[in-house]
């Protein structure tokens, strides 16, 4: 039984168009032309309990809008959504007590007070019993290694420490569903890694369902077995990360190391030369002819070493989003 | 209800801790308020040096009015003003997300999240002026009067809160509402004096000012027995209806909340 069900979700915004210049501004005072900006345009998916799903897409793809509909912040234009059996935008307290929305760019902690005060306030807001509060807090503090910072004012914490505190504040009521919108944004690589480890551990330990959006492919690669790709409000892909390669990559990469100098133009006959830096070259060839191309390369060039590889997921996704030919 | 009082207590605790971080600001706020009170009182004394009665109010009644005005405005300023002041900005920047995802009434959280303790100076000075002026009138005070005074203050605060909030909610539709602070300034300057002074000019003005009479003028008059006791119920009814309407308006407006992109 899925905990999140989304069917044909659409969210359109009315946006008014303005002609450039002063005359355009004056005209827009009296009559405005509106058009529908399709933030989300017919998206459907189900998510089961305990799944950790990555939501990826370029800026403005509709990821955050989808999360906001799922957490009840926005009313959709059409479509049905059920989260834990609730319709999110009814904003029932029983529903709100079971999820948490963390946005990397927004904070909910009291800036001038130690984070502990915000946790206590959240305990009241979510009506968490004393014993459960203490246990959850101890567990989270230990997992995130922030024991020494609980009594330090939030404004004096580093960005990484603050993000950890934000997570504790968001998790103090032990939500069953967690929406993480770019939780690692702005963090250094070490802190990003720690955050990822925590998210993974949290998901496994508490079997909570997590939807994560991120611009960092490392987040998605390391955490999510399943990814949903959205672009221009539409769902491009929903499945295992490895499946992305099968579906979108119709090319492979031949990496060759040569024992003698070769001519770049000659290599172009085999495929598209992506990198050429003697003695190494990377050539992109169509999937279907990869083995023939490899044989050709071995036959006609002084090859010392040859590798046939799948392209990087980052590259595939970037190419999907830029609408390039994937050859 | 109990839960919300408890929440208010925890919010007040956090706010107290935060404001004590800035002690000097508190002292300055109290001092400037003291000067402001003094000027206001001098103004009243000057007015009444020309005539013992103005529009049926004597000097001590106007002092009481001023005291009550300061108490009502002070309570509003302490608990809600800052939050409502930032409401348009919060709507514009999508910061309402915070309140809308919590299992607590969103209007409560958006109205009473941050307090401004410096404004309590107005409540304290208002009470002192009110009690002093009342004692000068020489009438005694009983339990019923104390209870009705409390009711009058609460309903006055509710009316003021609704008048400001109702305007601020417009920002759901306009996205920007820079007029809010000047609106509040005009509103509080109008409320500083009994609405009687506007009655003689144009009937239309009476209609426009009708909601305003419930903020301070009626409460003072009811307490002074210058209006029949039944007006206490009218006052309660007016506060309840206004609160209900603004609450409905809030929920209607929430449907227009578009958050902000990340």
How do residues A99-116 score in pLDDT, each as one tens digit?
A: 999 887 788 899 999 999
CA of A30 vs chain B CAs: smallest distance (Å):
15
Which residues on chain A are in Cβ contact (under 8 Å) with B258?
A: 13, 74
| Tokens, residue A211 | 């939807």
pLDDT above 90 covers what percent of chain A? 44
Residue contact A110–B11, C-beta within 8 A: no
Write down the domain spans for chain A: 2-245, 250-309
Which residues of chain B have a CB within 8 Å of the CB of A71? 101
Burial class (CB in 10 A: 0-12, 13-18, 19+), B152: buried
Residues B115-122 have a mean pLDDT of: 91
Question: Which of A221, A215, A121, A211 has its CA nearest to residue A168?
Answer: A121
Tokens of A116: 């502990």
Q: Considering only residues A250 and A90, tell me which one the structure prediction assigns the higher pLDDT.
A: A90
Q: Which CATH class is domain A2-245?
A: alpha beta
ipTM of the complex model: 0.84
Strands A226-231, A52-56: parallel, antiparallel or unpaired by DSSP? Answer: parallel
Beta bridge partners of residue A251, listed in sequence order: A286
With H, G, I as helix, E, B as strand and everything else as coil, classify residue B227.
Answer: coil
Q: Which residues contact A135 (CB under 8 A, 6 or more apart)?
A: none
Burial B109-137 (b: 16+ CB within 10 A, else e): bbbbbbbbbbbbbbbebbbebbeebbeee
Taking residues A230-234, what's their average pLDDT?
A: 88
CA A91/CA B196 separation, integer angstroms: 45
In order of A14, A16, A22, A37, B171, the CA distances from A25 in angstroms are 18, 12, 5, 20, 21
**Can you list the pairs that B24-29 forms with residues at least 24 positions away whose Cβ atoms lie under 8 Å?**
B25/B118, B26/B117, B26/B118, B29/B118, B29/B119, B29/B121
Instruction: Annotate B164-190 with b (16+ C-beta within 10 A) or e (fewer).
Output: bbebbbbbbeeeebeebeebbeebbee
Q: CA B84 to CA B180: how far, in whole Å?
A: 9
Buried b / exposed e over A81-99, threshold 16 CB at 10 Å, is: bbbeebebbebeeebbbbb
B-chain CB neighbours of A105 within 8 Å are 262
Q: What angle do CA A73, A75, A81 make, to 5 degrees?
A: 95
Q: Kindly state the average pLDDT of the residues B135-151.
A: 87
| Contact yes or no for B160/B240 (Cβ under 8 A) | no
Distance of alpha carbon A314 from alpha carbon B106, whole angstroms: 40
- Report the alpha-carbon distance of residue A89 to residue B101 in Å, rounded: 10
Give the closest of B11, B98, B258 to A108, CB-based: B98
- Give pLDDT, residue B1: 82
Q: Between residues B178 and A175, which one has the greater pLDDT?
A: A175
Residues A250-309, CATH architecture: 2-Layer Sandwich (3.30)
Please give, rounded to a whole number of angstroms, the shortest distance from the CA of B102 to a CA of chain A: 6
Say yes or no: A103 contacts chain B, CB-CB below 8 A: yes
- What residues in A contact B13, CB-CB < 8 Å? 117
Mean pLDDT across the stretch A162-169? 92
Given this model, what pLDDT does residue A315 score? 79
């Amino acid at each position: 039984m899925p905990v999140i069900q989304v069917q044909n979700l659409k969210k359109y915004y009315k946006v008014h168009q303005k002609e450039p210049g002063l005359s355009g501004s004056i005209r827009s005072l009296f009559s405005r032309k509106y058009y529908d900006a399709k933030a989300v345009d017919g998206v459907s998916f189900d998510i089961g309990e305990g799944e950790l799903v990555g939501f990826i897409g370029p800026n403005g793809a509709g990821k955050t809008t989808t999360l906001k509909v799922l957490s009840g912040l926005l009313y959709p234009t059409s479509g049905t959504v059920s989260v834990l059996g609730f319709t999110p935008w009814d904003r029932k307290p029983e529903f709100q007590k079971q999820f948490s929305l963390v946005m990397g760019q927004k904070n909910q902690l009291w800036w001038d007070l130690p984070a502990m005060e915000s946790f206590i306030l959240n305990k009241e807001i979510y009506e968490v019993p004393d014993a459960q509060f203490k246990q959850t807090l101890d567990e989270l503090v230990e997992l995130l290694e922030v024991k020494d910072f609980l009594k330090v004012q939030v404004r004096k914490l580093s960005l990484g420490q603050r993000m950890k505190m934000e997570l504790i504040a968001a998790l103090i009521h032990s939500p069953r569903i967690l929406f993480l919108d770019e939780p690692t944004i702005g963090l250094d690589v070490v802190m990003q890694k720690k955050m990822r480890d925590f998210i993974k551990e949290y998901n496994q330990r508490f079997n909570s369902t997590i939807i994560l959006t991120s611009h960092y492919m490392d987040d998605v690669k390391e955490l999510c077995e399943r990814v949903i790709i959205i672009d221009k409000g539409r769902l491009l892909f929903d499945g295992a990360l490895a499946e992305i390669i099968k579906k979108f990559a119709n090319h492979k990469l031949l990496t060759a190391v040569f024992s003698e100098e070769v001519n770049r133009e000659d290599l172009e006959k085999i495929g598209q030369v992506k990198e050429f830096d003697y003695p190494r070259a990377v050539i992109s060839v169509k999937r279907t002819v990869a083995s023939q191309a490899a044989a050709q390369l071995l036959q006609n060039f002084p090859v010392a070493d040859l590798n046939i590889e799948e392209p990087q997921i980052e590259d595939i996704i970037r190419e999907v989003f830029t609408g390039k030919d994937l050859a | 209800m109990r839960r919300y009082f408890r929440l208010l207590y925890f919010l007040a605790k956090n706010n107290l801790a935060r404001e004590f971080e800035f002690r000097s600001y508190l002292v300055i706020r109290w001092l400037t308020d003291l000067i402001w009170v003094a000027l206001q009182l001098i103004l009243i004394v000057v007015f009444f040096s020309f005539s013992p009665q103005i529009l049926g109010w004597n000097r001590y009644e106007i002092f009481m009015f001023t005291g009550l005005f300061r108490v009502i405005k002070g309570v509003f300023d302490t608990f809600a003003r800052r939050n409502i002041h930032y409401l348009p900005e919060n709507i514009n920047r999508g910061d309402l997300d915070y309140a809308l995802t919590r299992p607590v009434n969103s209007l409560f959280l958006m109205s009473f999240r941050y307090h401004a303790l410096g404004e309590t100076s107005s409540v304290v000075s208002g009470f002192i002026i009110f009690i002093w002026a009342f004692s000068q009138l020489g009438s005694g005070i009983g339990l019923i009067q104390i209870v009705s005074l409390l009711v009058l203050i609460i309903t006055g605060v509710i009316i003021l809160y609704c008048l400001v909030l109702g305007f601020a909610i417009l920002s759901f539709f306009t996205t920007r509402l820079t007029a809010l602070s000047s609106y509040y300034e005009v509103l509080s300057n109008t409320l500083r004096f009994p609405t009687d002074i506007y009655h003689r000019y144009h009937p239309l003005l009476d209609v426009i000012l009708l909601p305003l009479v419930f903020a301070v003028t009626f409460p003072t008059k009811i307490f002074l027995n210058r209006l029949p006791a039944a007006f206490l119920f009218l006052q309660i009814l007016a506060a309840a209806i206004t609160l209900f309407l603004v609450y409905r308006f809030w929920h209607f407006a929430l449907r227009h909340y578009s958050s902000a992109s990340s």
